[in-house]
Amino acid sequence: MNNIEWIIKHRLVVIFLAVLFVGITGSGLKFLENTSDYRIYFDKNDPFLQAFEALEDTYVGEDQVLLIIAPKNGHVFTKDVLTMIKQLTEAAWNIPYSIRVDSVTNFQYSRADEEDSIIIEDLVLVDELATLSEKELSTLREIALKEPLLLRKLISPQAHVTGIQVTVLLPKINSDKVIPEVVSYVRQLAKQMRSEHPNINIYLTGSVFLNNAFPEASQKDMKTLIPAMFGLIIILLIVLLKKWPATVSTVIVFLFSIVATMGLAGWLGIKLSPAAASVPLIILTLAVADSVHILISYHYFLNHAQLERKAAITEAIRVNLQPVFLTSFTTAIGFLSMNFSDSPPFRDLGNMTAMGVATAFILSVTLLPTLMMVFPERKPKAKESSQQWLSVLAELVIQHRKAFLWGMSIAILVLIALIPRNELDEQFSKYFDESLAFRQATDFTLKNLTGIDEIGYSLSAGESDGINNPEFLQQVEAFANWYKQQPEVLHVNSITDTLKRLNKNMHGDDEAWYRLPEERTLVAQYLLFYEMSLPYGLDMNNRINVDKSATRLTVTIRDLSTKKRLALEKRAQVWLHDNAPNMQSDGVGRTIMFAHIAKNNIMSMLNGTLLAMFLISGIIIIVFRSLKIGILSLFCNIFPAAMAFGIWGIVSGRIGMAASVIVAVTLGIVVDDTIHFLSKYFRARKEQQLTPEEAVRYTFSNVGMALSVTSIILFSGFLLLSFSTFQVNATLGLLVAITIVLALAVDFLFLPPLLIEMEQRKSIIT
């Protein structure tokens, strides 16, 4: 008694063991959590992450909430609007973990008084608001628009939009719970303010809301895409398989596969990022593909060969076991190659999917046949209609093989030639769909006020109290001025702007003295006086380190592509090297981190994908015992992804984090078509001694429908993923969907005529 006969005979035992396995592994679902930290995209030893965290440890943290206030009448400097801003500024201090609140109303404005001293106070005093005249409001507007620390940071050039920036110090532990707490509080505060001030719009953005957007995108996909996918797959199975036992059995297999995989992820402590959250959708499509191959063969033997149910399912497993195992194994290799990725979520995506593929294979060859024997099956008709269109296609390909071979070869070469049209282009503010509130708020902020991307520098003077050195400050000023002249820059925050204003104040607000002090003692005195005059929470710790040996310079940039961000920072490094080598400092920040991870990920994934290609080709060479077949399959597996990138070069031309893993993802999937086609072709040539032309007809007849059905299901699944609110997943889904269509075209229109031509020149059957 062979294994499949044992499985069928003891089907109740197999079903019990399958349920037990899924129950044990699935219990890990309770440990599965979404993550609210964008840092998950970086290894802990990532040099750019370490530099960013070092900057945060030296100065006040970078995590911020940005409340954008947009009066509907387009005027910020009115009594009602300023009163609301003052009220919201005070309320913002109560936001959990807040350590600093900056707005136009509490900006520490310094000015000279009549007694030759300096007055430092809020720009807008609450007790004077009610009595301000239109002229005084206009003066406040003019002051704000002239202040370098406010313009294009907290006030727009037209003074029609303003912002309140809340700096929060988030604890290192339990950030997944802390961030939603902060976001929830801010949203409730904004809701209250909107109800009290219906004439004002409030938008919420900043790094804290960026963090929160990651799990929100995951949760939205879980609530929309996965149910939609379940419904779509069930409909496709009903339409394509036309039998309810097959549909129900397949649904059970993919549900068990998903539950087991996600449960194992929970047991392993994997946290769900938006990238890893797409795993259920991918497993669903791959599990269905395994089942469909077996089920179509089962119904073929049941209906056309007139075998009994037990014999039909046994034969279906026998003829499909090798190709299904090979496709599952090679698919797992493709996804496991994602461990070469520099980004942990993509490694999690690869490992989780590989576990899902293995689980789906085991359940497909054990649970599926037992379910088919348990569920009632109506007695088949003598002969059910065959797939006539496949016979027509087979004849067309055989009769016009040279035309198809040359036509497909030209199409492949042309599309591959278009690959250079793509360029590295990642904008992490656009990681999220426009339907998300964070994306809407960020787009509004970029258009009307400022950017949310920053590059930070810790410029060292090389000695304690070195920031008092006028020569050092002149270099800082020169660097800040250079950045202000760059077209990509919106705002530069430098201590030198504060010192120049203080110097002017000490000289009766004479504009001629709006320059840096020339004596070290003066700088020290100005800073000491200024710091002593600042209220709690608005000190200079965010600009100066503890021993006053370094100062922070922050550059707010436009929403730039990866290429432009890196080019800007590279120009800054050249400037520092040429003009201030003593304070050379790498630019750090979220924008730089994501730019580098996108660039590095492509290079690291290239190595992983090449290794996967050679491993898969080696396996095929061993199985088919032919070097030529191994090489042939390698090209047939590479061509679809290469062609897809060529099409992408026309459609978009932008590749980023998602595109860097496309080849690894698709390599394991498209090999399914090639292996099944070659397996059936060589079975016909060896076992039935058919001619190459007859073998092609046999292959189309026996596996053509299965390949078509699985391709339709895979295409539909990944196309649905393209509607994800997380743009990395959306790009991944669309590119893979395109690749799947091209893979079927290569295996139906290019591979058969190539096999015939190769066999006519010299036999490739060993």
Asked whether the predicted pLDDT for residue 765 surpasses 70, the reply is: no
Whether residue 150 has pLDDT greater than 70:
yes
pLDDT at 95 over 90: yes
At 348-398, the pLDDT tens digits run 988 999 999 999 999 999 999 999 888 876 655 544 445 688 889 999 999
Please write the tens of the pLDDT for every residue from 507-542: 999 999 999 999 999 999 999 999 999 998 898 998
Q: Name the E strands within 438-542.
A: 453-460, 489-493
Look at residues 548, 538, 568 and name the one whose alpha carbon lies nearest to residue 556. Answer: 568
Q: What pLDDT sits at residue 659?
A: 67
Mean pLDDT of the chain: 87
pLDDT of 66 > 90? The answer is yes
pLDDT band of residue 623 (cuts 50, 70, 90) is: confident
- In this prediction, residues 102-115 reach a mean pLDDT of 90
What gap in Å lies between CA 579 and CA 475, rounded to an integer? 8
Binned at pLDDT 50, 70 and 90, residue 421 comes out as confident
Share of the chain above pLDDT 90, in %: 45
pLDDT of 593 > 70? The answer is yes
Residue 614's pLDDT band (cuts 50, 70, 90): confident
Confidence at residue 3, expressed as pLDDT on a 0 to 100 scale: 76
Q: How confident is the model at residue 548 (pLDDT cuts 50, 70, 90)?
A: very high
Q: pLDDT at position 677, please?
A: 85
Alpha carbon of 509 to those of 117, 499, 635: distances in Å?
11, 13, 74
Lowest mean pLDDT among 62-76, 430-444, 481-495, 749-763: 749-763
In this predicted structure, what is the pLDDT of residue 376? 77
State pLDDT tens for residues 393-414.
999 999 999 999 999 999 999 9
How far apart are alpha carbons 278 and 734 in whole angstroms? 13
pLDDT band at 1, cuts 50/70/90? very low
Across 174-178, 372-376, 434-438, 657-661, least confident range:
657-661
CA nearest to 128, candidates 141, 137, 119: 137
pLDDT in tens, 220-244: 877 888 788 888 888 888 887 778 8
What per-residue confidence (pLDDT) applies to 382?
47
Domain span(s) for CATH 1.20.1640.10 in the chain? 3-28+212-378+388-417+594-761
User: For residue 597, which of 542, 661, 529 has the smallest C-alpha distance?
Assistant: 661
Confidence of residue 618 (pLDDT cuts 50, 70, 90): confident
Is pLDDT of 337 > 70?
yes
Instruction: Give the per-residue pLDDT at 135.
Output: 93
pLDDT of residue 379: 55
Q: Higher confidence at residue 460 or residue 728?
A: 460
pLDDT of residue 599: 76
For residue 201, give the H/E element and its range: strand 200-205
Q: Which of 184, 337, 228, 288 is closest to 725 using CA atoms?
A: 228
Helix axes 662-687, 692-721, angle to 10 degrees: 160
Question: What is the per-residue pLDDT for 36?
Answer: 67
Average the pLDDT over 125-146 and give the result.
Answer: 91
Q: Which of 253, 533, 220 is nearest to 370 (CA)?
A: 253
CATH of segment(s) 3-28+212-378+388-417+594-761: 1.20.1640.10
How far is 710 from 286, CA to CA, in rounded Å? 9
